[in-house]
Structure 1
Amino acid sequence: MAPPQQERARRTRAAIVESAAAEFSKRGYAAASINAILEHSNATKGAMYFHFDSKEALARAVLEEGLERYRTLVDRWVQAPGLDPLERLHGLVADLGDALHRDAIIRAEFKLVIEPEFESEARLRGGSVWGLAGYRLAEEAQRDGLFRPGVDIRRFIEVVSAALAGQRYMTDLTAPDVDVRGRFEMCLEVPLEAMASQEWLDRWHREGWPDVAEPSQ
């Protein structure tokens, strides 16, 4: 067990990162207020600068935490037992919608990577993690005959990714009445209607998506 002082420092750092994520996701990097971050984290300025020497360092901590959460989300679904590759891809996409709705860290990661200060790093961040996993699941689905013959799975993933990005830009992800998960599912389902094999579609139309909140561990 960590000494009490180290545990307090860990909790303070985590609270600052979470508060910064909420501020970055709402206002963007340039307009984010250090005072607001401190107020909502109940931390002092001295405590913040003990952990982070600048607003940029704080933003990078949010980006790194967001990347880890994306990796956890991806790992949860890529090898999920008892599901076919398209069902796992659906779980990944639906979970991503849930995460963007409820997780300030993941919302902030998405917001920060399109800021000029961090734009050059976008290919190393969460979107590339999920995109690569999605492509691998699509490859597996193609090998299993779950797509129609001749389907270009690269185009399939590009269409799904573009639709998801559009939803993220156009939707107020924090609004209590918005169904982000449902919107993300639609971004996958429409291309599947055009590209999945008829056999797979017939089964999906009969049975729908598996009724699992998350895969078995």
Structure 2
Amino acid sequence: MPQQDRAYATREAILHAAAEEFDRLGYDRTSLTAVLARAGLTKGAFYFHFPSKEAVANALVERQDEVWSQVRESWRGRGLDPLTTLRGLFTESAERMSADVVLRAGVRLNAEREIGYPGVPSAHVLWEKLIGAYLAEAAEGGHLRTGVDPEAVARTLCGAAIGARLISSATTSCGDLPARMRELLDHVLAGVATSAGKLSGSQSASERASGP
């Protein structure tokens, strides 16, 4: 294996091992010793790639930022109606969280940091605004019932999604998060969508299955 490939593989092994520990215990309770043991590496190999545990955590947070940016851009570019796009965003996000410990760890680390810095704009607030924009578009297109407040629905969806993630993380390591998210979407959107909105949402699963 070329040296560059070995270096990349070692860095990924460190990130994956650290992610498993961070996902299980959080930042404060994760020790560098545990990460090294899980990765099967020496301190020298670790410090060649990262100067500290904090640097690994930073890399994981950056990785999840990149993933979410890609997911958002992917769904925005599909030209679907706003409610179908919302379903797709929520569903794919849950599936990725369930399957990828590196992503889960990055999300947990980012959330822990936001708790420690009140008043700083958080990823949760940014997601809430994004969801609200899609719901406002749905309202303009006649896909939400008269009198429904898109911002209130956005707050409800975002808060419930965070709660679902926390419970799923604590009980199944996010194994049942996709199912929880489908239940959430079905119940919340059923209460606010018009017949046209419900129809577009019900088509989302088949569209996703046949799409990219």
The TM-score, its normalising length taken from structure 1, stands at: 0.84
Distance 2:93 2:35 in 1: 25
Q: Would you say 1:131 and 2:128 are equivalent positions?
A: yes
Q: Would you say 1:171 and 2:168 are equivalent positions?
A: yes
Q: Give a deviation string over 1:44-89, Cα, whole Å, max 9, x none.
A: 21121122111111111111111111112222212223x3211111
Q: Give 1:157's aligned residue.
A: 154
Maintained 8 Å contact 2:84/2:200: no
Q: Which has the higher helix share?
A: 2
Paired amino acid for 1:58: V
Q: Give 1:186's aligned residue.
A: 183
Q: Give 1:92's aligned residue.
A: 89
Distance 1:56 1:42 in 2: 19
Q: Give a deviation string over 1:166-186, Cα, whole Å, max 9, x none.
A: 111222467389532121122
**Of 158-167 and 94-103, the range deviating more from structure 2:** 94-103
Q: Give 1:30's aligned residue.
A: 28
Q: Give 1:210's aligned residue.
A: 205
Distance 1:73 1:43 in 2: 33
Distance 1:94 1:119 in 2: 29
Q: Give 2:7's aligned residue.
A: 9
Maintained 8 Å contact 1:74/1:129: no
Q: Give 1:54's aligned residue.
A: 52
Distance 1:177 1:31 in 2: 20
Distance 1:88 1:66 in 2: 20
Q: Give 2:99's aligned residue.
A: 102
Paired amino acid for 1:56: E
RMSD, matched Cα: 2.8
**1:65-76 correspondence runs (5 A):** 65-76=63-74
Report the Cα offset of residue 134 of structure 1: 2.2
Report the Cα offset of residue 117 of structure 1: 8.2
Structure 2, unmatched stretches of 5+, are: none
Percent identity between the aligned chains? Answer: 31
Distance 2:55 2:115 in 1: 12
Maintained 8 Å contact 1:101/1:174: no
Query: Secondary structure at the residue paired with 1:106?
Result: helix
Paired amino acid for 1:115: E
Structure 1, unmatched stretches of 5+, are: none
Do the aligned partners of residues 94 and 187 (structure 1) sit closer, same or farther apart at CA in structure 2, a change above 3 Å counting? same
The TM-score, its normalising length taken from structure 2, stands at: 0.85
Report the Cα offset of residue 93 of structure 1: 0.5
Q: Give 2:196's aligned residue.
A: 199
Report the Cα offset of residue 141 of structure 1: 1.4
Paired amino acid for 2:15: V
